[in-house]
Copies of this chain bind each other. A is one copy, B any other.
């Protein structure tokens, strides 16, 4: 029911949303087709297989993340602000119909999704962790955040916490997620 030229993008948007809402095994081409007001086959024209669609969603997300972190609006932030920006990604997911993070959604069903999709998830997770580790390192070197242990471990802990926290909120409510974010900050100030 919308723009013909952007239909590919619209499909990706819906697929991304469905992945974060129902998981890879929890949505179908029919869901997207219905939402878009077209038929099943129309989606297959743009993305031959479901694996192709999933891969395209993650690839786009990877590019988006790369653009974000290299954009001056993030690059020029203070160390604390960069961390807040990262936390806000997850807070926004929670506020957006209780979505979970893309990476967590697919790692939970990792052993029942196509291999090509597994590889993309791996790359995205690495790239996000890498940025977070760098930010934590710089922030501690600059003396504006504090934590014990290795930055690489702290980065893995924080990202795991956010990922698990969004999932927890589905069963126990948004307050629980915000409790977790609060504790992440507490554990960064000491």
**Residues in chain A within 8 A of chain B (CB atoms):** 21-23, 25-27, 98, 100, 103-105, 107-112, 118, 121-122, 125-126, 129, 147-150, 152-154, 156-157, 159-165, 167-168, 170-172, 176, 179-180, 182-184, 186-187, 189-190
Considering the complex of A and B, which 9 residue pairs feature the smallest CB-CB distances, nearest first? A26-B112, A160-B164, A108-B108, A164-B164, A163-B164, A107-B167, A25-B25, A149-B186, A153-B183
Q: How far is the CA of A125 from the CA of B22 in the complex (A)?
A: 20
Copies in the complex: 2
Quick check: A186 and B22 within 8 Å, CB to CB? no
A125/B25 contact (C-beta < 8 A), A156-B165, A161-B160, A187-B187 known: no
The minimal Cβ–Cβ distance linking A55 to chain B, given in whole angstroms, is: 14
The minimal Cβ–Cβ distance linking A59 to chain B, given in whole angstroms, is: 15
Quick check: B109 and A104 within 8 Å, CB to CB? no
Q: Which of B104, B172, B179 contacts A153 (CB 8 A)?
A: B179
Q: How far is the CA of A136 from the CA of B22 in the complex (A)?
A: 34
Instruction: List 7 A-B residue pairs with CB atoms under 8 Å apart, sorted by A's residue number.
Output: A26-B112, A110-B167, A118-B171, A122-B172, A149-B183, A149-B187, A150-B183
Q: How far is the CA of A170 from the CA of B107 in the complex (A)?
A: 6
With both beta carbons as reference points, the residue of chain B lying nearest to A101 in the complex is identified as B164
Q: Which of B110, B154, B157, B190 contacts A171 (CB 8 A)?
A: B110
A107/B171 contact (C-beta < 8 A), A161-B161, A179-B152, A187-B187 known: yes
Quick check: B109 and A168 within 8 Å, CB to CB? no
The minimal Cβ–Cβ distance linking A189 to chain B, given in whole angstroms, is: 8
Beyond A21-B111, A104-B164, 7 extra complex contacts between A and B, CB < 8 Å: A23-B25, A25-B25, A104-B108, A108-B167, A156-B180, A160-B168, A161-B164
With both beta carbons as reference points, the residue of chain B lying nearest to A178 in the complex is identified as B153
The minimal Cβ–Cβ distance linking A179 to chain B, given in whole angstroms, is: 4
